[in-house]
Structure 1
């Protein structure tokens, strides 16, 4: 199982977002951040791991991917669009579909697609976005 697939599985079973999840997402998408000493986030993450980095997430200005719709939306891969966002049966989960339309078509139903489901909207967006990166 790849790191991305493992993270997707972790997100699917998470009850809520957390700074630990935000740090793992940031490392997975190789977020380009440097601290005041010029150290790159991904290098420090590989050395210390997500538990230590979660304590320092705010000092690295890691976005709140797992708890903020706006932050989670920044994870969409380039040219991918939100094709569908709806509530599931009995409003227990959000169902997200991202699409990479083919250039000659304006329909989001054509081309590659990625989906995510979760009771928390930002987590559903994170799942769909990460799935799109490995689609």
Structure 2
């Protein structure tokens, strides 16, 4: 089905949202790392709420990691489709996409440390 070109078409938006959820569910059901990252994010958000720490930096860091994991899954699928046999450039594409997830995950850990450790230290009686 082709788009009518209108960004305000509710049917088009609903259909696109369905495709997006299908991709998220596929990734959750097929990718162990995505499941781990989802639940790590949930725990980080719960910790932030419990500690009354700012939620926005934690939520944004989680969204970045999960988004890049979805892109990584898409890159892997396209590379596997285009190059079923081993090829050096296929490896580069997959490794670079995985590297993006790793960089975002490291950044998310830094955000978690900066945002969550000070209030956690106070709760633990250290400050």
TM-score (normalizing by structure 1): 0.28
Structure showing the higher strand proportion among its residues: 1
Which protein is bigger by CA-based radius of gyration? 2
- Which structure features the higher share of helix residues? 2
TM-score by length of 2: 0.29
Q: Which has the higher contact order (CA 8 A, sep 6+)?
A: 2
